[in-house]
Structure 1
């Protein structure tokens, strides 16, 4: 079977029945009064995994990490780290460090003293402490800034100090709560790859909370998409993007067009639907086809649609419409197209050359075409 998306590396312990989870949430529920922040959730994370919790504000992702760090106790259920139950274990006795979005650096201390703070609190001998601090400074490439105070650093440099302080104690698990949220877009993108390299070099397990889908897609081995205290789907970035389980997951990760229709026929790999936008043939989600007459939704990403002024002769699917909006983004051009039904769908055209002889403009009649395997049929 062809792979979904590109493969970063062969690390995939979740596919090994013999692999033991490093972190386990077992039927965990967390209530704050009448509000259920986490609802009967079970989740396994493996050693050396870079795992992301992704979802909108209030979906329960930070509450999960706070329970793991020991700042909150579950109302129901159990948590395990490396096979050991965490119930009743205070935060300072857990082999876990948590890095917050604000970084929480001590403003009156130098970079080196900030990194050394936790080691000093643990009673590490000064010689060993100085050696560890030097290792951390080298690791995050801040050797020449050791004597500076936090206010003398850029946002990215402060982020690296906070990271060095978090990993200096060599925790089994590093928890990161929106760690890159305070950085500008370019620096955030650069830091994502630095975090990935650092995690690989140290061999640590990372759990990160983010609402930034691109951040989660870039860094993660796996992603858990959360919704109202439950997990909507867990998978690799490619699985989440190319084979979402529901319209919610499809819509939360990237841009997507969803076209509604009723099933008129199906086979082992494809489903044909008839709806307001015409007849569409699309890929089957899972091994069981929906029943004839059932309402389903065809989900397709904008970049998987081809744009043309003439109807393609060989296309499995073709929709005609009027150009409603055009947005030039540099690397691509986004075109919103109003179909005959009144539905507006989005197509993305890669700008492969600097100059375009005859660009598509507003109010033009165009065709959007796509193969049957470019999108997927969703039942909910």
Structure 2
């Protein structure tokens, strides 16, 4: 069995034609005056899915989340949750809860009081509140901090309190708006896995908005790439990375080298692309619907490229250049190789051994090579 990337879990209701979406955006548009923040968008999210909305600032992802929460109403279109049209239902009556980047904790209340606040507002009996708060404290591992106030906690601990308060009411859907943005890099990476494990344990539907690619790739079952109020691609993290459907998606997620050219020859399952720069003719495995003479782009990730001092004999694609820059970042080495036509190609190699037998340095001549199935042919 082959797969595009590792499979985190077998959960994939979107591949089941009989599966019913839990959240549906149907032709949703949101205008602010003359500005269209969300443009005729349709999207399905499934129950128990960890779904990410990923895009640059201003792409419409937060507006979409706020419409689901009820803080904004669509200018047109429908939003359905478990078959119910949410139009006109105020935020406090929707079975969703939203966790903000700022956490919005009450500074004068203890941790347990912050968690209990929404339950008290709903009129839950005191014994039930105490039991639920205890469950939440254990879930986020903050039992020993129950009597502290927010200013006595670290950033990561405040984030956990906000999370516990958000899930205490057991909403059908938890909405997370850049929830890890205030954490430092190491803590953010740790919290990503904690959130993933927690979502799986709770069996809840999580929808997260982020501009952090690594965050979305680590946590989400599927990612929607957004730009200018539209969804460009919805797929698993591995599919987004390994099989982007456009140059925008390929360039937005991760690092990529893009070779523009024209289809010179087609055969069953493969094609030859005459690179516009004239540096090489690329042999590529493909499924693209193109004809000879069509302009295409061959997108290939830096880690799929091999850098060597001599031309390898066992690969179909190779081009020579000059080592222009080197970055050693511990687990890998990043090479910028300048081709003879002036283009810079980025390659990266994993430092799997402590000693390098054939080291390359600045201004050395070097060969870049890659397999026919190492990249993807794009037509837009």
**What corresponds to 2:6 in structure 1?**
6
**Deviation at residue 356 of structure 1 after TM alignment:** 2.7
**Aligned residue pair count:** 378
CA distance in structure 2 between the aligned counterparts of 1:171 and 1:6, rounded to whole angstroms:
31
Q: TM-score of the superposition, structure 1-length normalised? A: 0.98
CA distance in structure 2 between the aligned counterparts of 1:355 and 1:15, rounded to whole angstroms:
45
CA distance in structure 1 between the aligned counterparts of 2:349 and 2:334, rounded to whole angstroms:
6
Task: Assess if the C-alpha contact under 8 Å between 2:280 and 2:318 holds in 1.
Answer: no
SS in 2 for 1:374: coil
SS in 1 for 2:233: strand
Alignment partner of 1:244 is 2:236: no
**Deviation at residue 9 of structure 1 after TM alignment:** 1.1
SS in 1 for 2:2: coil
SS in 1 for 2:373: helix
**What corresponds to 2:293 in structure 1?**
293
**What corresponds to 1:202 in structure 2?**
202
**What corresponds to 1:122 in structure 2?**
122
Task: Assess if the C-alpha contact under 8 Å between 1:268 and 1:289 holds in 2.
Answer: no
**Deviation at residue 340 of structure 1 after TM alignment:** 1.6
CA distance in structure 1 between the aligned counterparts of 2:271 and 2:376, rounded to whole angstroms:
9
SS in 2 for 1:124: coil
Task: Assess if the C-alpha contact under 8 Å between 2:111 and 2:145 holds in 1.
Answer: yes
**What corresponds to 2:253 in structure 1?**
253
**What corresponds to 1:315 in structure 2?**
315
Alignment partner of 1:280 is 2:282: yes
Task: Assess if the C-alpha contact under 8 Å between 1:266 and 1:289 holds in 2.
Answer: no
Deviations 1:294-318 (A, max 9, x none): 1111000000101110001121100
Which segments of 5 or more consecutive residues in structure 1 lack a partner in the other structure?
A: none
**What corresponds to 1:335 in structure 2?**
335
Which segments of 5 or more consecutive residues in structure 2 lack a partner in the other structure?
A: none
Q: TM-score of the superposition, structure 2-length normalised? A: 0.98
Task: Assess if the C-alpha contact under 8 Å between 1:54 and 1:61 holds in 2.
Answer: yes
**What corresponds to 2:27 in structure 1?**
27
Q: Cα RMSD between the aligned structures?
A: 0.9
**What corresponds to 1:93 in structure 2?**
93
Q: After alignment, is 149-158 or 275-284 more displaced? A: 275-284
Q: After alignment, is 156-165 or 272-281 more displaced? A: 272-281
**What corresponds to 1:175 in structure 2?**
175
**What corresponds to 1:324 in structure 2?**
324
Alignment partner of 1:15 is 2:11: no
